[in-house]
Structure 1
Amino acid sequence: MKMVFRWYGEGNDTVTLQQIKQIPGVEGIVWALHDVPAGEEWPMDKILDYKSKADAHGFHLEVVESVNIHEDIKLGLPSRDKYIENYKKTIEKVAKVGAKVICYNFMPVFDWIRTDLFHRLEDGSTALFYEKAKVDDMDPMELVRKISDNPDFTMPGWEPERLKHLSSLFEAYKNVTEEDLWSNLQYFLEQVIPVAEANDIKLAIHPDDPPWPIFGLPRIMTSQENLRRLLKLVDSPSNGITLCSGSLGANPRNDIVGMVREFADRIPFAHIRNVRVYENGDFIETSHRAADGTVDICGIVQAYHESGFQGYARPDHGRHIWDEQCRAGYGLYDRALGIMYLWGIWDSLERNKQEVGA
């Protein structure tokens, strides 16, 4: 397991590379050009600037998250081909600075959805929270205003240039079914996977967050069965999964441990985090400690270990603790604690393996 840490870039993150360097076992940063609109080709000078900053602290740039998919690709519009060509060129460019994995998602309109970015937990910390009844009754524009109320940082998946066309986007998706979305995803993958293969890069789709339809929009990366179908769309080692235990874990019916064991050789990137799911369908993000949430973090790490996992992992979202002022879900302290918890499980499994083999 190779530990990495998501970093949003200089001037766009409260966490510094020097601070990340002090977290044991972190070898690379998970990066992206967040100021480049979805669909545009990434400029090489900006990519090289990121590389110079990473190099100065001894980090690699092997995991990119995310090269976002333009909505025209998801909608299957004739204009999708030009955006797919830009995507191919970006794959080739990030490969030149050592990228091995590109995480992306295929969620219509919205990326992750939460109703409260700083919901208070019993211990006084705050975390990302999803209130099912509120989403069921909410006008999507109200949610946009809530997320946009956090103007100090970019919010991936909530880019202003995209959301200002929200009404027309909803209209465009009005007659798009799940099968349409599957067809459009297959078209995209058939075009870009050969380029990924040629550049020794694995594309790794992120599950829908949360894993069910929102505001009447179709969602397809929601279950073990659907991930199985994804891998068959284009049967290539370069067509993979970013297995996010928190996203999929919001639905208690999802067997994350089973997914790790089934798809291990097609998971180049793992997001390992915990959520606590309530009987009414609400959920809140918790510490990584298994006992604090609903997700079997210990079982998940054990499944990765027993599968011989050699891919990349990151702690994903964390709580906001010790009065840290940071981007929602992306502070330093709780993610660092999460890494040490994951290393603790992993190192114990390594020790047991050595003792059994002795």
Structure 2
Amino acid sequence: MVYDKVGISDSIKGQGHWPESDETPTLTLFLDDLSDRSLRRVKQLGVKGVSIAHLDTGGLETWTDENLKRHIDRVAEGDLEIRNVMFDPGERIIFGKDGRDDDIETIINAIQIAGRQGLPVMEYNFYAHRIVEGYKVVPGRGGSGLMDFNNDRIKDLPPLQGKEAISIDDLWENVTYYLKAVIPAAEAADVRLALHPNDPPAPISRGSGQIMGSVEGWKRLADIVPSPYNGITFDCGVTREMGHDPVEVCRYFGERDQINHVHFRNVVTRTPRLDYTEVWIDEGQVDMFAVMSELVRQKYPRLIYPEHPPQNDSDTEFPFNGISATTYTGFAYTVGYARAMMQASLATQAAGK
């Protein structure tokens, strides 16, 4: 076996289960709380790296070295590691309003804190509105609930009351201003930023443009400040929702070392960007093994989140608050499936196939 093809260390050679390590991707779940109960359940699934959305109930202005370290230490008590924190840049940055420079300084301060405390990735969105109104639940296998999106449900919706619409050109101007300010700080702190794609990737969301609603937009974003620290959350499901080949798109951004987080899920797309259904991870149009094999080939070392499991009777009858919106049984399934894909990919790559 040619283990050196994927740089696998002697410590895991010959182990048929191919454990995750610093040389492989790491599966993650998104924690809604850091209770003993949540940490225990994540650990039981074999997940090591966790993601969270905030520190306590506040935004980035609450970040201090002590606060972040307290969360890191708390998760470590469950033999887990915080490797990604999602944050919201805020409307003043997204809409280019007065005060955005103050908000950018708050983000830079949080990045510097993350660097000092060893947090490797910070993930964020950059949209004026997320057009979730286009979703409805449709029946899947065995009566499970699948998320279905159709643009006809929302194409004529106006901005929400009290909100404003913004053009895609203005969004590009504002994200450029933001990136040129924060990426140098991210590079200095050794903290990678990951911008999540627009999901749903409809062209218009209540009157506002969507800069991350196309692969062309992803590429444009990555070129504003060409740096591994200006990266994306590569979502193979959204890629297929937009009508593209996830393996090709994964290779494009991986070769530029600009994949800083991964979302791993499956969909069936009828009309790109306009009409699709999120399905179980083992069905649909995304070749999940091919995507995982490409990430392994790239030696991608960061987190993979097997997200968006469909609704199932177990989670409906016995919801578990604490792990990604009460869908623990569904996540147990997606984690197991993703780990099997990873282990098979590692074994295949190591055998030189």
Shift of 1:61: 1.2
Equivalent AA in structure 2 for residue 233 of structure 1: I
Contact 1:242 1:267 in 2 (8 A): yes
Deviations 1:188-243 (A, max 9, x none): 01111111111110011111111232222111112222222111111222111111
Equivalent AA in structure 2 for residue 231 of structure 1: A
Contact 1:244 1:271 in 2 (8 A): yes
**1:134 corresponding residue in structure 2:** 153
Give the match's secondary structure for 2:32: coil
Contact 2:49 2:83 in 1 (8 A): yes
**1:16 corresponding residue in structure 2:** 38
Distance in 2 (alpha carbons) for counterparts of 1:88 and 1:309? 26
Give the match's secondary structure for 1:229: helix
Shift of 1:102: 0.7
Distance in 1 (alpha carbons) for counterparts of 2:110 and 2:136? 31
Give the match's secondary structure for 1:169: coil
Equivalent AA in structure 1 for residue 100 of structure 2: R
Residue 121 in structure 1 maps to residue 136 in structure 2: no
Pick one of 128, 135, 158 that aligns with 1:108. 128
Distance in 1 (alpha carbons) for counterparts of 2:64 and 2:132? 29
Pick one of 248, 251, 255 that aligns with 1:258. 248
- Range 187-196 or range 292-301, more displaced: 292-301
Residue 213 in structure 1 maps to residue 204 in structure 2: yes
Summarize the alignment of residues 293-312 of structure 1 with structure 2, pairs less than 5 Å apart.
293-312=284-303
Shift of 1:117: 6.3
**1:149 corresponding residue in structure 2:** none
Shift of 1:95: 2.9
Distance in 2 (alpha carbons) for counterparts of 1:39 and 1:75? 18
Bigger RCO of structures 1 and 2 (CA < 8 A, at least 6 apart): 2
Distance in 1 (alpha carbons) for counterparts of 2:325 and 2:280? 11
CA pair 35-278 structure 1, distance change in 2 beyond 3 A: farther
- Range 69-78 or range 318-327, more displaced: 318-327
Shift of 1:105: 1.2
Contact 2:55 2:68 in 1 (8 A): no
CA pair 129-326 structure 1, distance change in 2 beyond 3 A: farther
Distance in 2 (alpha carbons) for counterparts of 1:8 and 1:117? 23
**2:193 corresponding residue in structure 1:** 203
Pick one of 67, 73, 78 that aligns with 1:57. 78
CA pair 113-45 structure 1, distance change in 2 beyond 3 A: farther
Deviations 1:108-145 (A, max 9, x none): 133x62545654323222233323322235566xxxxx
Residue 243 in structure 1 maps to residue 263 in structure 2: no
Query: What count of residue pairs does the alignment treat as equivalent?
Result: 320
**2:16 corresponding residue in structure 1:** none
Contact 2:133 2:153 in 1 (8 A): no
Distance in 1 (alpha carbons) for counterparts of 2:148 and 2:97? 34
Shift of 1:313: 0.9
Contact 2:232 2:261 in 1 (8 A): yes
**1:163 corresponding residue in structure 2:** none
Summarize the alignment of residues 321-340 of structure 1 with structure 2, pairs less than 5 Å apart.
321-324=312-315, 325=319, 331-340=327-336
Distance in 2 (alpha carbons) for counterparts of 1:42 and 1:352? 43
Contact 1:277 1:283 in 2 (8 A): yes
**1:352 corresponding residue in structure 2:** 348
Contact 1:317 1:330 in 2 (8 A): no
Please provide the CA RMSD for this pair: 2.6
Shift of 1:46: 4.4
Distance in 1 (alpha carbons) for counterparts of 2:309 and 2:84? 19
Residue 271 in structure 1 maps to residue 263 in structure 2: yes
Contact 2:34 2:75 in 1 (8 A): no
**1:282 corresponding residue in structure 2:** 275
Residue 230 in structure 1 maps to residue 221 in structure 2: yes
Contact 1:286 1:293 in 2 (8 A): yes
**2:21 corresponding residue in structure 1:** none
Give the match's secondary structure for 1:123: helix
Deviations 1:18-38 (A, max 9, x none): 0110113x2111012176465
CA pair 31-86 structure 1, distance change in 2 beyond 3 A: same
Identity of aligned pairs, percent? 26
Deviations 1:37-89 (A, max 9, x none): 6564435554344223201111111211x111111111112210111111111
Shift of 1:332: 1.4
**Structure 1 unmatched runs, 5+:** 141-165
Distance in 1 (alpha carbons) for counterparts of 2:168 and 2:59? 22
Distance in 1 (alpha carbons) for counterparts of 2:135 and 2:217? 28
**Structure 2 unmatched runs, 5+:** 1-24
CA pair 288-194 structure 1, distance change in 2 beyond 3 A: same
